[in-house]
Amino acid sequence: MKLEIEIRDRLRTIDLEPAESPGHYRAILDGEPVEVEANLLRPGVLSIVVAGRSYRAVRENDASVGNGSETAVLLAGRRFPYRVEDSRSLKARRAHSGGHDGPKVIKASMPGRVVRVLAGRGEEVEAHQGVVVIEAMKMQNELKSPKAGVVIEVRVLPGDTVSVGDVLAVVE
């Protein structure tokens, strides 16, 4: 099957077919054929041998990887964030993000507890002005408006617990 993977902000095309012997794959990476032998040691942990070189690859997260969400492969002490797209949704997303200027959401960049809402519904905000303050592990983090506009919705109250990616507010 053919996959397009955006890894470290580069788009790679990988065509992966199982070979005759178990655990072996024929992979075509950006048009170059690669012989891969892979062994899933346990969910999320792969032993991979490519051309005699041995690697341990660990998938960072169990969370589902769909459009907009991201996970990472941990390999050789490095973190490689990636995103999987089928070609259609990728094109659609690119078309969507280009020049479109509708409402923008402010999402939680870390899990934590809401300590303050700095700009309520109906308030005008500048670009990069703080809207919501979240606290975790004794550190406070101000979530800022991505653009100048009006706060049309605030979805959290002080004291609420939020997870990464939760929508906190919408600015139009």
Partner 1 sequence: MTSFRKILIANRGEIALRIERACRELGIATVAVYSEVDRAALHVLEADEAFLLGPAPAVESYLRGELIIDIAQRAGADAIHPGYGFLSENAGFADACENAGIKFIGPTAAAMRALGSKTRARQAADAAGMPRTPGSTQALASLAEAYAVADAIRYPVMLKAAAGGGGKGMRAVNHREDLKAAFEAAQSEALRAFGSDEVYLEKLIERPRHIEIQVLADENGKCIYLGERECSVQRRHQKVIEEAPSPVVGPDLRRRMGEAAVRLAQSQGYTNAGTVEFLVDDEQNFYFLEMNTRLQVEHPVTELVTGLDLVHLQIRIAQGEPLPVSQPDIELRGHAIECRVYAEDPDNGFFPSPGRITRLLQPGGPGIREDGGIYEGWVVPMDYDPMLSKLIAYAPTREQAIARLLRALDEYVIGGIRTNLGLFRRILNDEGFRAGDIDTGYLDRLLAQPLPYTTDDNLDAGNEDVAAIAAAIFETLRNGKTAPAQTTASPWKSVARKEGLRG
How far is residue 156's CA from residue 163's CA, in Å, rounded to a whole number? 12
Which residue, 73 or 150, has its beta carbon nearer to partner 1? 73
Smallest separation, CB 122 to partner 1 (Å): 29
Q: Could you count the other beta carbons within 10 Å of the beta carbon of residue 160?
A: 16
Strand partners, 105: 170
Question: Where along the sequence are the contacts to partner 1 (CB under 8 A)?
Answer: 1, 3, 5, 7-8, 10, 12, 14, 16-18, 20-23, 25, 27, 29, 34, 36, 38, 40, 43-46, 48, 50, 53, 55-62, 64-65, 73-80, 82, 84, 109-113, 136-139, 141, 161, 164
DSSP-based three-state secondary structure for 44: coil
Smallest separation, CB 4 to partner 1 (Å): 10
Which residue, 34 or 150, has its beta carbon nearer to partner 1? 34
Which residue, 78 or 88, has its beta carbon nearer to partner 1? 78
- Scanning the chain, the segments in alpha helix (DSSP H) are 87-97
Which residue, 6 or 153, has its beta carbon nearer to partner 1? 6
Smallest separation, CB 150 to partner 1 (Å): 27
How far is residue 112's CA from residue 70's CA, in Å, rounded to a whole number? 19
Smallest separation, CB 128 to partner 1 (Å): 14
φ and ψ at residue 156, rounded to 5 degrees: -130, 160
φ and ψ at residue 154, rounded to 5 degrees: -125, 120
